[in-house]
Amino acid sequence: MPSTEPRGPRQIWRALQWSMKGLRAAWRHEASFRLEGYLFVIMFPLGLWLGHGAIEKALLCGSLILVLSAELLNSAVEAIVDKASPEFHELAGRAKDMGSAAVLLLMFNVVLCWGLVLSAHLQG
């Protein structure tokens, strides 16, 4: 059945408000997100400055955005797991660990992207 929810600018505005609410909640309640946010504020402009051309800038800055995105998803998984299963359960722990591992892999991606781009500049 089609949704009766209005589409267009009003729905986009509401979606933006919900997204900002999520960002505020992550900032308020998640120390890891705050730390990654501080690093983002420093490294994003640095990536724009250091990157030569659009592709390098996209790699340097985009890799940072991916970490923040994964952290938000990881925090969402942790919140829903804690709500659904406040006592320890092996599957709950596994879900949380996998979310954390996703963030870690994207942090490795940041190091790889930045390392390769910066080493290319040092050699050239």
Question: How far apart, in whole angstroms, are the C-alpha atoms of residue 49 and residue 2?
Answer: 47
**Other CB atoms within 10 Å distance of the CB of residue 108:** 11
Cα 109 off chain centre by? 13
Nearest to 113 by CA among 34, 74, 58: 58
Catalytic pick among 30, 36, 71, 78: 71
Q: Please enumerate, as own/partner, the contacts of 56-65 that have beta carbons within 8 Å and a separation of 24 or more.
A: 56/117, 59/113, 59/117, 60/113, 60/114, 60/117, 63/106, 63/109, 63/110, 63/113, 63/114, 64/39, 64/40, 64/110, 65/40
Q: Is 71 a catalytic residue?
A: yes
Q: Which residues form the catalytic set? A: 71
